Each structure stands twice: as structure tokens, then as C-alpha cells.
Amino acid sequence: MIKDKRLFLFFIWLFVFINPGRSLAQNLDVDILKSINPRYPTSLYWRNTSNSAYYVAGAASFGTLIYGLASNNAAVKQNATETFINLGASVLVTQLIKISVNRTRPADRYPDEIFVNSPTHNQSFPSGHTSLAFATATTLSMQYKKWYVTIPAYAWASSVAYSRMYLGKHYPTDVLAGAAVGIGSAYAGRWFNQKLFKQYQKPKKYD
């Protein structure tokens, strides 16, 4: 178990803190992206898949909260709190890394090789859509622990990651780092949430 955690943390470090400007990695990044990104990335399917990262994350968090409050179910309300913590942590960490690394978007750096339908000029590394999607998928998988939740959740998150490359918005390392941030944020949020609720659920001592 300890080895698995160390390996997981190693991959987070590798994808999040690796220097994306190194020539070999950069060339491989661009070559892979060029093979995915078409000259006219106008597919509505991939655009809607990309946008679904926010819709699904919102539905998972607010939907769970509303149901928990309506049914007065303590377990569901705890899941809602955990979901908000996990997704919030993912967004915060992603933005901090974006500002720190300040990587140029691929279409801005390679305007004649990478094509976008609607230009985006903010930081590229890591992918915020991907981190949010994987934070959502990981949270749902940990909460429900059913294959029919886990498999579709990660398939959807992977589709969001692919859509960001198809649309020319991110390099492969951007989406890999985004996935690592999302998964890591979900696990960290689960740990924090368990500590938080354990603190409030301690049995009272009477004299």
C-alpha cells in the first residue's frame, strides 16, 4: 500500500513539476498533438464533450447537495461536502500551477501547425478541464465503488482530456498533468473529509 502511494505521488511529481519546455519532450508533445488535432477542429461532439467538464462537475456537486438536504441523509450530505472540497482543491491547484509554469498555449506558439476553432490565450499547463473531469470521476468512483460508475466516469474524463487535444487547446503533457492533479486532489480531499467528519462525530463524554 505504501509503495502504491509513493508510486502515485511520483507520477504526480513527474507530470506536474516536469519542465514542459525541454526540447525532446516539447517535440514529442507537438508531434502527438499534431496527430490528434485536425486542421478544422469543428466537431460539435468534441466541443460538447469538452464543455461537459463543468456541467458534470456542477451536477455531481450541487445535485448531491440538493438531494442530501431534501432527504436529510447524513451520508449523502457528507458526499456533497467531499465533492465540493475535491473539486475546489482541483481548481485551486490547477490555477496555482498555471501561474507558476506560465506555459504558452500550443496554438499561440505554433499558429501554423496547431489549429483551434476559438482561440484561448491564457496559460496552458495543466489542463483545467481535464483536472476537473478527473477530480469528478475519482470522487464518484470512491464514493460509490461500483464498476458501472467507475468505468463510465473515467471513460468520460478521458474523453474530456482527448477533446482538449483535438480542439488544439492543450499539449498531451497538459492533459496528463491535469489528470494527475484531478486524481491527486480527489484523494487528498477524501483524506481531509474523513478527518473533518471524524472530528465532528467523536462521541461525547459525560461526567
Q: What is the pLDDT of residues 97-148, one digit of tens each?
A: 999 999 999 999 999 899 998 877 889 999 999 999 999 999 999 999 899 9
Segment among 8-17, 31-40, 55-64, 85-94 with least mean pLDDT: 8-17
Q: What is the pLDDT of residues 152-186, one digit of tens each?
A: 999 999 999 999 999 999 999 999 999 999 999 99
The answer to whether residue 79 sits within a structural domain is yes
Q: Supply the pLDDT for residue 163.
A: 97
Total domain count, the chain: 1
Q: What is the pLDDT of residues 5-53, one digit of tens each?
A: 554 555 555 554 455 545 555 688 899 999 999 999 999 999 999 999 9
The answer to whether residue 163 sits within a structural domain is yes
Give me the CATH number covering residue 183: 1.20.144.10
The answer to whether residue 16 sits within a structural domain is no
Distance CA(117)–CA(161), nearest Å, equals: 17
The answer to whether residue 6 sits within a structural domain is no
CB 188 within 8 A of CB 89: yes
The answer to whether residue 71 sits within a structural domain is yes
Its pTM stands at 0.82
Q: What is the mean pLDDT of residues 49-63?
A: 94
The answer to whether residue 31 sits within a structural domain is no
Higher pLDDT residue, 55 or 198?
A: 55
The residue range of the domain holding 93 is 44-197
Distance CA(35)–CA(127), nearest Å, equals: 19
Q: Supply the pLDDT for residue 183.
A: 95
Give 165: exposed, middle or buried? Use CB within 10 Å, 0-12, 13-18, 19+: buried
CB 108 within 8 A of CB 121: yes
Q: In sequence order, what are the residues at sequence separation of 6 or more whose Cβ sits closer than 8 angstroms to the Cβ of residue 65?
A: 77, 80, 83, 84
The answer to whether residue 5 sits within a structural domain is no
